[in-house]
Amino acid sequence: MKDKDQKSPKLEISHEKSMHLIIVSADLEDYYHLHPVKKGNGMYTQKFALPENSYKVFVDIKPKNLAYQVSPIELLVGEGHGEHEERSNLTKTINEKTVELTTTEPGINKDVTLNFDTKGITSEPYLGALGHVVILDDKGEKFVHVHPTSEEKTQFETKFDKPGIYKVWGEFKFDGKVNSYPFVIEVK
């Protein structure tokens, strides 16, 4: 990205980082939330081994004094191709920590509340919040990054502008480790 003078813009800090790099496999199974390190002259780097698959990459930044919209970047590693799952269980256990997703009825252009029940265990602050949520449509084109509605609850609000299957990743930190909980919801 360049500004009108063809210079790399300065990036604002957003949730403790200047860049959030989200990588999602085409089948919406694999999810990575990384924070590349600035190397100078507008360059950021992140060494990371990806399994063979097709991916969508999202660069989530806030350039100072520039309009920016997150858009997917296609990435193919090897010759892998994935299939989308249709629905999933809304209770997941990762590293012995269970989270259950409940929602208000997901509909088009209406406020939808995503409540993540951490089963009595309070998540630790992660990137300035009790959790983070990333939502992608089944084509991996619509990207939404949502933050909690308050500092005390793992509750999030969003809107969907079209019907379909969406993959939701809730990221919560327990015992110093960040767990990514994948869920699939349908918006009618």
Residues 97, 179 within the same domain:
yes
Q: Of the candidates 44, 77, 110, which is a domain's last residue?
A: 77
Residues 71, 132 within the same domain:
no
Q: Round to whole Å and give the CA distance between 51 and 71.
A: 22
Domain count, the chain: 2
Polymer length in residues for the chain: 188
168-181 pLDDT, tens digit each: 999 999 999 999 99
Q: Round to whole Å and give the CA distance between 65 and 175.
A: 38
| CA 8 to each of CA 2, 14, 111: distance values in angstroms, whole numbers, following the listed order | 5, 18, 36
Residue 72 token pair = 């997917």
**With contact defined as beta carbons under 8 Å apart, do 172 and 181 qualify?**
yes
Q: Of the candidates 54, 77, 100, which is a domain's last residue?
A: 77
pTM of the model: 0.63
Q: Which domain holds residue 52?
A: 20-77
**Does some domain include residue 6?**
no
How do the pLDDT tens digits run along the chain, 188 residues long?
A: 566 676 778 888 888 899 999 999 887 888 999 999 988 777 888 888 888 888 889 999 998 888 888 888 888 887 644 444 434 579 999 999 999 999 998 889 999 999 999 999 999 999 899 999 999 998 888 899 998 998 889 999 999 999 988 999 999 999 999 999 999 998 98
**Does some domain include residue 25?**
yes
- Output the domain CATH number for residue 167: 2.60.40.10
Residues 95, 133 within the same domain:
yes
**Does some domain include residue 8?**
no
Residue 24 token pair = 């999602």
Residues 64, 105 within the same domain:
no
Residues 168, 104 within the same domain:
yes
